[in-house]
Chains A and B, each alone.
Chain A
Amino acid sequence: QKEVEQDPGPLSVPEGAIVSLNCTYSNSAFQYFMWYRQYSRKGPELLMYTYSSGNKEDGRFTAQVDKSSKYISLFIRDSQPSDSATYLCAMPQGDSSYKLIFGSGTRLLVRP
C-alpha cells in the first residue's frame, strides 16, 4: 500500500462548478498537509498547507483535513479554466522530516 493515494483523474468539470480533490494516507503520524498545483510543463507550486484536522480557506480554495479518517480534501469554488492543472497532495514524512511524500496527482480540466 502506498503511503499517499490520490485518484489520478482526469476530472472534467464545467466552469463555475465546485471541485473536490482528495487524498488518503496510511501513516497516522503525518501532521502537516500540503496541496501543490502543477500546470502543464511547469514545476509544482505550493497552493495551501494545513496542520492537523480542520479547515483552512484561502479565496476560492478550502483545504480540509480529517485525521480520524486519514483523508484530506481540496475544494475549489467557482472553478475557472485557469484552474486546469494537476493537483498534488504532499505531507512531510515526520514532524521534522526533510522528505515530502507526494500523491500521484489529480488532473483537473475546467471547461469554459
Chain B
Amino acid sequence: DTAVSQTPKYLVTQMGNDKSIKCEQNLGHDTMYWYKQDSKKFLKIMFSYNNKELIINETVPNRFSPKSPDKAHLNLHINSLELGDSAVYFCASSQGTQYKNIQYFGAGTRLSVL
C-alpha cells in the first residue's frame, strides 16, 4: 500500500498545454510538498501546504498553481507549459516539523514538454 502516490508517473505533452499532477498520502500527515528535480538531480522545493494552508511558496512562475482540497491531497496544475518545465516533480509529506521534518516522497512524475 503506497504511502505517497502520484499520478501520472509519466507525462509527455506539447508546449502551451495545461496539465495537472495529483498526489495523495495515506500516512495521516498534515504537511505536503511539491519539489522539482532537474536533470542534474538538484531537488528544489516549490510549494508546501500545512492543513490545507499554503506555507511555502518559492519563487516559481505563476503558471504553477498548487491546490490542496484536504490534508491528504495536494495537486499541481501547470498552465502554458514551456520546454524548461521538463523535469521530475516529486510530492512529499511530513508530520509538520515533528521528528525534525522527515519527509516521505512519492515515486515522481516525469514531465517531458516537447
Q: Which residues of A contact B (CB under 8 A)?
A: 8, 32, 34, 38, 41-46, 49, 51, 86, 88, 92, 96-100, 102, 104-105, 107
- CB distance B101 to A92 under 8 Å? yes
- CB distance B42 to A97 under 8 Å? no
A-B residue pair count with CB separations less than 8 angstroms: 65
- CB distance A98 to B101 under 8 Å? yes
Residues of A within 8 A of B55 (CB): 98
Most buried by B among A38, A46, A86, A100: A100
Residues of B within 8 A of A41 (CB): 107-108, 110
In the complex, the chain B residue whose C-beta lies closest to that of A34 is B102
- CB distance A100 to B103 under 8 Å? yes
* Number of residues of chain B lying within 8 A (CB) of chain A: 28
* Distance between Cα atoms of A44 and B105 in the complex (Å): 6
* Distance between Cα atoms of A97 and B105 in the complex (Å): 18
- CB distance A98 to B56 under 8 Å? yes
Residues of B within 8 A of A8 (CB): 40-41
Residues of B within 8 A of A92 (CB): 97, 100-101
Residues of B within 8 A of A102 (CB): 42-44
Partner of B106, one of A43, A51, A86: A43
Additional A-B contact list (11), CB under 8 Å, known A92-B101, A98-B101, A102-B44: A32-B101, A38-B41, A42-B107, A43-B4, A43-B90, A43-B105, A43-B108, A99-B56, A102-B42, A102-B43, A104-B41
